[in-house]
Structure formats: C-alpha cells, structure tokens
Amino acid sequence: MAEPKKLFIKTYGCQMNVYDSERMAEALGTQGYVMTDTAEAADMILLNTCHIREKASEKVYSELGRLKPLKDLNPDLKIGIAGCVAQAEGEEIMRRAPVVDLVVGPQSYHRLPAMEAQVRAGQKALDTEFPAEDKFEHLPRRPLPNRAPTAFLTVQEGCDKFCAFCVVPYTRGAEVSRPVDRILSEARDLAERGVREITLLGQNVNAYHGAAQDGAWTLARLIRDLARIDGLARIRFTTSHPNDMDDDLIAAHGDCDKLMPYLHLPVQSGSDRILKAMNRKHTAADYLRLIDRLRAARPDILLSGDFIVGFPGETDADFEATLDLVRAVGYGQAYSFKYSARPGTPAAERPGVAPDVADARLQQLQALLTEQQRATQAGMVGREVKVLFEKPGRMAGQMVGKSEYLHAVHVTSDAVAIGDIARVRILASGPNSLAGEVLGLV
C-alpha cells in the first residue's frame, strides 16, 4: 500500500483563512493527502495568504525563499500559493517565483484536486477566477472523526462596502451568502462530531441573506435556527459592519441564549471627517447609538473593535476624536493598526501621515485600549462564568477554555475534560488570561 502524501499548510490572516485552510486540506484529502506539522516532511506546501496588511506579498516571497532549499533537496515537492495575495497577484507570482507550482484564489480552491493532478503531470496551475459555481457545493463532506469542541463555519463571503483602505472587494469579490439548508446541514454535522461552539464567518457576516424555500433569511433568523440544533451550545459571529446591524440581530443578543455576549464591531475611526474619507457611510454618533442599543438588549455584552491610525489626512483633532470614542465605548478588547496603503485601493493614492506621527498615535491608542482590556479582565475577578474547555494547559492537571466573553480561562482540575462546559469562579486576572476554580459542570 502506497504511503500517503503529506500536506503542510501555513495560514496567514483572519479566521476565514483558517476555515479555508481546513477545507483545502479536505479537498486534497480526496487525492490521498494527510496533514503534517512540518514543511520539511511535506510532499505539498500551501501558503494560504492574506492581503490586508502592509507588504503582504513581500512576506510571501520571503517565505518562498526559505522554502526553496526544501525543493532543491526534493524536486518532487510541490509548492502552492492560495488566498488573497494569490487572487491579487497570481500571474506576477508565477512570473517572479519559479519555485511555485500552483496558484489558487480563495473562490477556486474546490478545484485543487484537478490542479494537483496538473502539477503532478509536470505543468504549472493557475486559477484566480471568480467561478460561477458554488465552491462549497463541490467540496467533499467534512471528515468523519470527532473534532475539537469549537469550529468555524463560513456563511458569507465578499464585501460590497468598498472602504477606501480595503482590498477585500477586489480579492474576495461581491457579497455572496451561502444557502440556508447547506449551512444548517454542515452545522448539524459538526455538532454530531462533538462541536459545542460554532463561529459564523463572513467578510461582512451581518450582511447575510441566504436563500431558503421561504425567501432570504437574515443572520438573526439563521442564528435562531442554529440554536435549535441539539448539542450545539454556543454561537458567535464575526466580522460585522455597523451599517448591517439590524433591529432583529440586536434583539437576538437579548433573546437567544446560545448567542454569546461578545461582538466584534469595527469602527476604524472616531472622526466623522476620516470616516467619510474611508467611505464607511456612518458617523461616530451612529456607531455610539448602535452601541447603546446593543447594551440595552444585552447589558453584559463585551465589545471589540478595529482601529486605523494615520489614515491619509488624519489630523491631531481627528485622532483625539478616536480617543474620545474609545473612552465612550469602553472596549473589552480591540485591534489597532497603523494605516498601510494597499495597491489598487482609493486611499493608496493619497498622501500619508508622517510615519513618526502615526507611530506615536498608535502607541497612545494601544495604551488606552490595553488599559480598558485590563480593567475589563480585572472586573471579572469574583464573577462566575461558563467556560468551554478546549485543550490541556501547560502545567499538569491544567485545562484551558473560553468564557462566554471570549476570555481565555485556565483552571487546575481533574473534574473537566475537553468539550465540557463548566461554571467557573474567576480568581485572578493575568495580562492575557483569567484563572479560576471549577464550581461544577453545566
């Protein structure tokens, strides 16, 4: 019996890329591939790339330089580039990097088995089209073995918002929602294999309008139907746009027990002038009113956000408006970045803020966000939370999981196992996690 071929995938970027990497592995599993943890052991290496941050493509070429000696040692090794850099620069990658055998965009990876056969036959393979067919319909069924207790599930792809700084509409295409019955079927399948928590994914997930026999469903309706699945205890979703946070989805945070009290809702800036330049189509006041409505529906909700500093034209007053918004919201956690121009986007042609000014602003913003995050975590001490345990900790007898609020929580106990949900009293707060004691299983 032939040895199975080994596949190594390195994933960059967002949760959707993590999900895509899983599905690519499943697609190549039909060709006899099994996963390996090291590039050195692989017969095929895939780099699943992200195009959001600065110098994304250069990082890919740097990684290819590190991989080239492996191909020199093993001429049968095949190397592929997937994801958003592949979509944006596929032909250039093929021209500039002869070590690459295969380039596939994020909407075409269901064609990987045919592309793999092509490269095994000695040809190069490039597919960065936006195919008419639904890739999910052509992917194999998820693997049979039991899974980890948490899983990602893509429900929507693409974006129609065209923020001035963002490449997603160009690399992922227009907004497309998966049909309701396929999502429910995949979710039931995951629950039957031991998944307790599902995170619904989309570039603009709350724009979801999936087709069903009785018309298009909203994300709120989908969440309520998913909540009826036996064994599924928790539902999350990311990433959302403020303009698509409708009344029913806000209400779901208050009336759907399985929808966790955590929401990642990027705003990017607190300055109306910069928000307009970013083409966000909302104001800071719109965002703050939305936060008030969410907290009225679910008072304990923990909020997360994204911020860009140093956007072209940002003044000291604009930056101060961002700090004011952060203080008004009080984030449990957030992500902040210095603006980096993405080729092909409208903002890329505008003069930027001086790098030292942008650096100073980023440090000041991150200090405020860190202060808020630590205050939120300190406020958890003494409270009881419900923790879904996902893996053993670093110390003997330790288990690590996530609270409803997505805080990492570790306990020392032999009373819980992976996949259990337990009541935990928080005893201490560390820089990035909480420590607690188990009170009992839920």
pLDDT tens figures, 306-351: 999 999 999 999 999 999 999 999 999 999 999 998 888 999 999 9
Q: How far is CA 211 from CA 144, 155, 223, 249, 285, in A?
A: 27, 11, 15, 18, 33
Backbone angles phi, psi at 389, to 5 degrees: -85, 130
Residue 130 pLDDT greater than 80, yes or no: no
Separation CA 269–CA 325 (nearest Å): 8
**Model pLDDT, residue 89:** 86
Q: What is the DSSP letter of 106?
A: T
Provide the percentage of residues in the chain whose pLDDT is more than 90.
77
Same fold, 5-127 and 144-378: no
Helix (DSSP H) and strand (DSSP E) numbers for the chain: 13, 21
| Strand, helix or coil for residue 303 | strand
Q: What is the DSSP letter of 268?
A: B
Task: Give just the sign of the alpha carbon dihedral 374, 260, 241, 54.
Answer: positive
Any residues with CB less than 8 A from the CB of 438 and at least 6 apart, and which?
Answer: 411, 413, 415, 416, 422, 423, 424
pLDDT tens figures, 349-365: 999 899 999 999 999 99
Task: Specify which residues 227 forms β-bridges with.
Answer: none
Angle between helix 316-329 and 355-378 (nearest 10)? 10
**Model pLDDT, residue 184:** 97
Q: How far is CA 273 from CA 165, 321, 322, 331, 371, in A?
A: 15, 10, 11, 22, 27
Top CATH class of 5-127 equals alpha beta
Residue 392 pLDDT greater than 80, yes or no: yes
- Chain mean pLDDT for the chain: 92
Q: Which two tokens stand for residue 367?
A: 């200090």
Please report the DSSP string for 9-32 in residue order. EEE-SSHHHHHHHHHHHHHHHTTT
Mean pLDDT of 59-71: 91
Among 207, 287, 206, 288, smallest CA distance to 253 is for 206
**Model pLDDT, residue 344:** 84
pLDDT band at 133 (very low <50, low <70, confident <90, very high): low
Residues belonging to the binding site are 14, 50, 84, 159, 163, 166
Break the chain into its structural domains and give their ranges.
Answer: 5-127, 144-378, 384-441
Residues belonging to the binding site for [4Fe-4S] cluster are 14, 50, 84, 159, 163, 166
pLDDT tens figures, 211-250: 998 999 999 999 999 999 999 999 999 999 999 999 999 9
Separation CA 214–CA 231 (nearest Å): 26
Please report the DSSP string for 209-266 in residue order. EE--TTSPEEHHHHHHHHTTSTT--EEEEE---GGG--HHHHHHHHH-TTB-SEEE--
Strands 125-127 and 102-104: parallel
Separation CA 275–CA 206 (nearest Å): 20
Amino acid in the structure at residue 220: A
pLDDT band at 53 (very low <50, low <70, confident <90, very high): low
Residue 146 pLDDT greater than 80, yes or no: no
Mean pLDDT of 49-62: 77
pLDDT tens figures, 6-44: 999 999 877 888 888 988 998 898 889 999 999 999 999
Helices (H), 278-418: 284-297, 316-329, 355-378
pLDDT tens figures, 262-277: 999 999 999 999 999 9
Task: Give just the sign of the alpha carbon dihedral 58, 59, 62, 64.
Answer: negative
Separation CA 252–CA 220 (nearest Å): 6
Residue 163 pLDDT greater than 80, yes or no: yes
Stronger pLDDT, 295 or 71, i.e. the higher one: 295
Among 178, 171, 126, smallest CA distance to 153 is for 178
Query: Going by CATH, does the domain composed of 384-441 fall within 2.40.50.140?
Result: yes
Query: Going by CATH, does the domain composed of 144-378 fall within 3.80.30.20?
Result: yes
pLDDT band at 79 (very low <50, low <70, confident <90, very high): very high
With tokens 């994304």, the residue in question is 56
**Model pLDDT, residue 103:** 94
Separation CA 276–CA 164 (nearest Å): 9
Task: Answer whether 0.75 is exceeded by the pTM.
Answer: yes
The answer for 326, left when phi > 0, alpha when psi is -120 to 50, beta otherwise, is: alpha
Angle between helix 15-29 and 112-120 (nearest 10)? 60
